[in-house]
Structures are given as C-alpha cells and as structure tokens.
Amino acid sequence: MLTNDSKQSSSDNEIDQQKEEFISLVAHEFRAPLTAIKGYLSMILEGDAGNISDKARGFIADALAVNERLVRLVNNMLNVSRIEKGKLVFQMERINLSRIASVALDNFRAEADRKGLKLSLEIPTRIDDLIYVDVDKINEVVANLVSNAVKYTEKGFVKIKVSNPIEGVIRLEVSDSGPGISQEEQRLLFRKFYRVESTAGKTVGSGLGLYICKLLIEKFNGKIGVESDLDKGSTFWFELATVKKEDS
C-alpha cells in the first residue's frame, strides 16, 4: 500500500514529467518559425536576395538580433530542467575558446552598434585555449554573458577578453560599463529566476541565463563568477582547464 508521502512524490514526478513534455513540445513549436526567420533574414544579409540598402541591412540585423534573443530564451527554457536532472546530452569535442569569443563578437556587433556601444575582443597573440566541451553549450554560455552586457549597458563599452591566468587554465571575461551590481545582489545572481532589481522590468529576461551558465560551466568542471560594484560596471568571467591536442 502506498503511503501519503510516496503518493505525493509519484504525483509530483508525474507533474514534473508532464511539465517537461509540455515545455519540450512548446519549445519545438517555437523553434520552427524562429529557424525560418533567422534563416531567411541571414540569407538576405548574405546577399542571396540581391543588393539591399545599408538602412535595410541595419533593420534586418536588428530583427535578427531580437530573434536570437528568443532563440536563447527557448534554449534556456529547454536546458534548465534537463541539466538539473542530468538529462542533457553533451556532444563533447575540442575547440579553441578564442574561436567561440570571435563568433560572439560577430553575433553581437549589430546590436551593440545600434546602441552606440563599443564592442571589442582582446586575445593575446600567444594563447593556450583548447578546451574539451560541448561547443553549442559553451557558445550559449558566452552568448548569455555578452547578451546581458549589451542589454544592460546604456552607453560605453562591452569588452570580451580571453587570457591564461595561469598555465593550463583559460579565462573568458565579459566586462561592461553598465550600472554595476551591488555586493548583496551578486550573491543571488546565479540563482534560478533571480533578476537584478535595478534592471528588472527594464528589459526582457527570464532570470534563467546566468543560472544555466553556472550549471553548464560547472558541468565542464570550470568556475564562473562576477566582479562588480554599483556605477562601476561589471565583469563576468569563467575559467576552464585547457587540454592538449592528443588528450581526450
């Protein structure tokens, strides 16, 4: 005979499973139109539909950037419960972190330009940056960090920096000249659904991005953190161990 507790937990599990199936279905349905919008807009930008004016190019780049925000939101929705339950499948491979940083720079240039922000990337000429990760997931982490910086910074700069703080470790930093975050709020920042009070309501966001970044970086045995102060901007960073080419 089932006890009240076990009845409760099996009904919780059922609800959890239904919730997950529902999110998965909704996300799948969202992703199809998002794919088409992203695809056709990028093809227009690449000249597949002929020449377009610079003004039209700017509008399309903006639309593409907003669409990317939705893609990230859907990815975050899907990822969160899967990572928590250890059900996310990782496709691990070796990749240079500098390459991921360059992709992020390209992807956010239009949005930063539109806001008048200076977006830059700093990579030393000699760098040991080969890491063993799921490329899509590490792309998501970097995109989440750069997206936040661009979103919450009204003027000034956003800078991505890749460096080796010590041998065998690669660090990626995203610094901005945004409003900064109080010491108190920094402690809550990587929690699920937490949104910084000074910025909540000003822009779209689910409060999932940083939480997922933390789960993913920890999954890859790395560390993630923030250095910030009110009115002094913020630097979000993560560190991962580098691998040699022949390692697995």
Partner 1 sequence: MDDSQKQSQSIPTPTVAIEENKAQGPNVLFIEDDSLLLKMYKTKFEHEGFNVISALDGEEGLTAALEQNVDLIILDIMMPRLSGLDMLAKYRQDVKGKSVPVIILTNLTREEEMKRAKELGVKEFIVKADYTPSEVVRKIKDYLGK
Verify binding: residue 66, partner 1, rule CB under 8 A. Answer: no
State which of residues 3, 51, 91, 125 lies at the interface with partner 1 (CB under 8 A). Answer: 91
x/- mask, partner 1, residues 109-148, rule CB under 8 A, reads ---------------------------x--x---------
Minimum CB distance to partner 1 smaller for 99 or for 161:
99
Backbone CA torsion sign across 102, 67, 145, 148? positive
Cβ neighbours for 83, distance < 8 A, ≥ 6 positions apart = 212, 215, 216, 219
Minimum CB distance to partner 1 smaller for 34 or for 121:
34
Using CB under 8 A, which residues numbered 36 to 65 contact partner 1? 36, 38-40, 42-43, 46, 48
- Best CA proximity match to 186, nearest among 110, 237, 151, 244: 237
- CA distance linking residue 245 with residue 248, whole number of Å: 8
User: With CB under 8 A as the contact rule, which of the stretches 6-14, 83-91, 150-158, 191-199 interacts with partner 1?
Assistant: 83-91
State which of residues 7, 28, 118, 187 lies at the interface with partner 1 (CB under 8 A). Answer: 28
Q: Give start and end residues of each alpha helix (H) in the chain.
A: 4-45, 54-84, 97-115, 135-152, 183-186, 209-219
Supply angle C-alpha 81, 70, 229, rounded to 5: 80
Query: Do residues 162 and 101 touch, judged by C-beta distance below 8 A?
Result: yes
Verify binding: residue 88, partner 1, rule CB under 8 A. Answer: yes
Contact positions vs partner 1 (CB under 8 A): 24, 27-28, 31-32, 34-36, 38-40, 42-43, 46, 48, 71, 74-75, 78, 82, 87-89, 91, 136, 139
